[in-house]
Copies of this chain bind each other. A is one copy, B any other.
Amino acid sequence: MVGGRISRLSVRDVRFPTSLGGHGSDAMVSADSRVPSDWSFSCLSPVVLSTLSDVMVRFQIAHVCVVWVGTFSLQHTDPDYSVAYVVLETDAEDGLRGHGITFTLGKGTEVVVCAVNALAHHVLNKDLEDIVGDFRGFYRQLTSDGQLRWIGPEKGVVHLATAAILNAVWDLWAKQEGKPLWKLLVDMDARTLLSCIDFRYITDVLTEEEAYEILQRGQVGKKEREEQMLTHGYPAYTTSCAWLGYSDDTLKQLCTEALEGGWTRFKVKVGADLQDDIRRCQLIRNMIGPEKTLMMDANQRWDVPEAVEWMAKLAEFKPLWIEEPTSPDDILGHATISKCHNRVMFKQLLQAKALQFLQIDSCRLGSVNENLSVLLMAKKFEIPVCPHAGGVGLCELVQHLILFDFISVSASLTNRMCEYVDHLHEHFTYPVTIKNASYMPPKEAGYSTEMKEESVKKHQYPDGEIWKKLLTAQGN
C-alpha cells in the first residue's frame, strides 16, 4: 500500500496568542522576574532519593508522578502555544500528504523551524517504502547525523525537529494505509513494529526479544479491548480548570462546568506562592469532594529541599501525584518527578524506581518510534502510563499512542488516564472527541496531525493576519 517518493517538505511557524488570556500559565519564574534573594535552603541528606519518598509516605501522598517528557511544565506566565508544522508531499498519484507538528511556546519556534530545515535532506527524495521498511535505520539517520548530533543529541531543539518530521512520516504512512495511526499500530505484526524502534542505549533494560514477548502476551484479549475502546473510549482527566493565572471565580466556574460535564479527575497548577496554592487547592478539593481525583503540577519550580517543604504543606488535599517539583534532568535528586527528553533518561527513572506514573509526550520524544520503546519499557516495569496532552494538538496525537498501549501492550486501565485540555482543538481537521470524560478513538486515517489550512495561514508568525494585527498594535 505504501508508495511515493517524498518530493517536498515545508515547515511553518504557527503561533496562537494564548498569553493574552492566561491559559497555560504556571509557576515557572518569568524571564523578567528577579531571582529571589533568599533562594537557598538548608541542605538535606545528599541521598535525597530516599528523603522525598519518605516525605510522601509520611504525609500520605499516595503517589509521586514522573512526567515523561513534555507537559506544560516548562511554561511560565506568558506562553504563546505554538507549533512547528511540517507538511510532506510525495510524487504518488494519491495526493496524500503527511502532517507533523511539534509543540512549542512561542519564541524559539523559529529555531525549531531552522532545525527542521537542517534535517530535511534526510527525508527529501526518499521513497516512503524505504523509510518505513527500515524505520529503525531512518530514525538513527535523523538522530545521529554526523554533524547535527553535536547540537543535541536526542534532546532540545534537534529532537523537537526530529519529532515534527517523524510525526509527518507516520501520518503519511497511516493515511496511505487508510487507517488511523492507533489502528495501524494495533494491526501491525510484532516484528515490523519492533523494527521501528532504536534499541540503542536501552538494551541493558529491554532487548528486542523481551519486547517481542511483551507484544505476544498483548495478543490475548486484544480484540475485546479494541471493542471496549470503540464503545467507551479511554479515560481522561482535565487540566483546563486550574491554571495559575485564573482568578478564583474563573476556577469555580470552570470547575462547576467540568463537574456537570462528567469529569471526575482534575489537575491543578501549584508552586508560585504557597498560601495561594493552599487556598486554591482547598477551593477545588471542596468543590469536587473527597472522592474525586486531584493531581498537582509544580512545573520545576523548586529545589529539592523546597519541594519537600512545599509538598508537605499540600499533602492534606490528597493529591494523587505532584508533577515536576524540580529540574527535568534531576533523576537522583528526587525519587519523584522529572521531565525527560528521551528513552535513555526514562530508562534510568525506571531503573532507579524513581516513578510511580509515567507521562509520555507525542511531540518531545522522537515521535511514535521512541514512544513505542517507552511504552514497552513501562510495561516491563508495570508502571501505568498517563500521557501528557494539551498544548497545540498534543491531545489529538497522544490519544493514538495510549489506545495502542491499552489494546496491544498494557491491557489495563488501572490507575491510567490521559490528560485533556480544552484548548485550540478547533484548528485541527480531525479534532479529538470526548464523551463522558473519555477519549473516543478517532476513525479518520492518519495521526490526526492535520491542521486547517485557514488556521495555519492566519496564525503564521510573523506574517499571518492575527500576528500582523497584534504586532502592529504592539508597535503603536
Contact = CB atoms under 8 A, between A and B. Distances in A.
A459 interface: no
A31 B303 contact: no
Interface string A322-354: 000011111111000000011011011001100
Contacts of A48: 204
Given A118-B110, A330-B348, A332-B348, A146 B208 contact: no
Nearest to A380: B46
A113 to B, nearest CB: 8
A115 B156 CA distance: 12
A329 B155 contact: yes
B150 A108 contact: yes
A160 B401 CA distance: 33
Given A76-B149, A111-B157, A147-B80, A329 B345 contact: yes
Interface stretch (A36-44, A174-182, A267-275): A36-44
Number of copies: 2
A210 to B, nearest CB: 8
A459 B144 CA distance: 25
Given A39-B199, A203-B303, A348-B331, A146 B115 contact: no
Interface in A24-56: 28-32, 34-35, 39-44, 46-48
Contacts of A228: none
A124 B210 CA distance: 54
B28 A149 contact: yes
Interface residues of A, number: 88
A26 B354 CA distance: 35
Given A79-B146, A147-B108, A351 B332 contact: yes
Interface stretch (A133-141, A285-293, A407-415): A133-141
A62 interface: no
A28 B146 CA distance: 8
A109 to B, nearest CB: 8
Interface string A174-215: 000000000000000000000000111111110111100000
Given A146-B77, A305-B203, A151 B104 contact: yes
23 contacts: A28-B144, A30-B146, A31-B144, A31-B146, A39-B200, A43-B205, A46-B205, A46-B351, A80-B147, A104-B150, A105-B149, A107-B148, A108-B118, A108-B150, A110-B118, A111-B151, A111-B157, A156-B158, A201-B304, A201-B330, A204-B305, A330-B344, A330-B347
Interface of A: 28-32, 34-35, 39-44, 46-48, 74-80, 104-108, 110-112, 114-115, 118, 122, 134, 136-137, 140-141, 144-160, 198-205, 207-210, 303-305, 326-333, 341-342, 344-345, 347-348, 351-352
